[in-house]
Amino acid sequence: MSDFDASEISRLRTLKEGYRDRLLYDTLPFWLRYGVDHQHGGIMTCLDQNGAIVDTDKGVWQQARFAWLMAELYNHVEPRGDWLELAVNTAAFISSCAFDPADRRMWFQLTQDGRPLRKRRYAFSESFAAIAYGELAKATGDASYRDRAITCFSSFIKQMSLPQDPAPKWTDVRPTRGLGFPMITLNTAQELRESIGWSDANTWIDQSIEIIRKYHLNAELQCVLETVSPEGNLIDHLDGRVLNPGHAIEGAWFILWEALYRRDRDLVGLGCQMLDWMWQKGWDKEYGGILYFVDARGGPVSEYWHDMKFWWPQNETIIATLLAYILTGESRYLEWHTKIHDWAHQMFPDPESGEWFGYLHRDGRLSTPVKGTLWKGPFHLPRMQLVCWKLIERYERNGFQPLMT
């Protein structure tokens, strides 16, 4: 073994322990200590730096994601009764409060005690509820959770595929298709395949990957387009040229995950192509970190927060670069993972109160001290820590040899 190999293995073992320990002894305790609503069920995510509640409203995305996380930890880390109880109680809150009885669509925002406040045009509440119910079906053996998971997935597909009610803000003068729908469909189906052994999962996975490959990869501009025409062409306006590197990189690791599951080298190539392009577009060469928005042609971006550093693109890029390295053994992915891991862990964690800050200015200055909002909750960060911990464990069991050689 060369000195490089020995030092690389030592660093990876240290990383594995770090991901595990930050999840179990920092991230998770923060949310369990400050966010859990023991009166009404679910979790409150609008927290300040020290965990004080700044708003009691509850985002349905975060309720479902928290239920998924606790059931996921129960199924894949340790079958702890307190974790399962939190998942069950949060799912009960979702089941009783998050569905509109008039149309069975899910709300987006609720009061603390579960009264509805608003519903959004898209149906990602349903997709996150589906993965939560799926993990609970696996954890409990209760077939009713399995039925709810499939029902929520079906509702998600129906709402995202049919004309929307209420009508979208855009007219049909410039029709579009977006990356978010096939991406979330892909990952939701992957989760349901794992949790409930859903027989239809591969059909949706295949379809979603083909949509991403056919319509959203642009070889001329060497990028993954967030929004395209129905035929997959660039919409050469400000909105159409906006790239979200972290979002596309998240999609890249979903495809790499599928490559690992299927032992499919073609999918390795597809996922790595997406990662390669969007790393080059998104990595901030001056300050480090992944930018929020960039222009496909390198021009100015109209969104005022375009050059901020949000927590979640860093989380998704940490997963994607590590997975690409462990699959291929290519040194550039290890170099990129080291860059993004080290930069993010220098900038985002709060050593005093725990967890991560969510929003930084481009140069790393803190934008706001909030630890949680309706958008930021216990999902991207703990998922990153869990996935990276388990990935390195798997790599270690393989003798630190690439998993796709």
Q: What is the pLDDT of residues 311-352, one digit of tens each?
A: 999 999 999 999 999 999 999 999 999 999 999 999 999 999
Of 149, 169, 189, which closes a domain? 169
d(CA 234, CA 226): 10
Task: Give pLDDT tens digits for 275-303.
Answer: 999 999 999 999 999 999 999 999 999 88
Examine residue 174 and state whether it is found in any structural domain, yes or no: no
Query: Does residue 316 contact residue 384 with C-beta atoms inside 8 Å?
Result: yes
Confidence of residue 168 (pLDDT cuts 50, 70, 90): low
Per the prediction, the chain carries an average pLDDT of: 96
Of the three residues 151, 169, 187, the one that is the final residue of a domain is 169
Inter-residue contact 357 to 350 (CB < 8 Å): yes
The domain containing residue 59 runs over which residues? 37-169
The stretch 151-179 carries a mean pLDDT of 84
pLDDT over threshold 70, residue 4: no
| Confidence grade of residue 304 (pLDDT, cut at 50, 70, 90) | confident
For residues 246 and 306, membership in a common domain is answered with yes
Positions of E strands within 49-168? 53-55, 58-59, 109-110, 116-118
Statement: residue 203 has pLDDT above 80 = yes
3-state secondary structure of 59: strand
- Report the distance separating Cα 234 and Cα 241, nearest Å: 7
Q: Tokens 């004080």 map to which residue?
A: 52
Say if residue 337 is in the same domain as residue 191: yes
Query: In this structure, which long-range contacts are made by residues 70-77, counting pairs with CB atoms below 8 Å and at least 24 apart in sequence?
Result: 71/132, 71/135, 71/136, 71/138, 71/139, 72/135, 72/386, 73/28, 73/386, 74/135, 74/139, 75/135, 75/138, 75/139, 75/195, 76/386, 76/390, 77/24, 77/386
Using one digit for the tens of pLDDT, what is the confidence trace for 57-73?
999 999 999 999 999 99
Q: What is the mean pLDDT of residues 158-170?
A: 72
Q: Are residues 30 and 41 in the same domain?
A: no
User: Pick from 118, 143, 169: which residue ends a domain?
Assistant: 169
Same domain, 117 and 201: no
Question: Both 78 and 191 in a single domain?
Answer: no
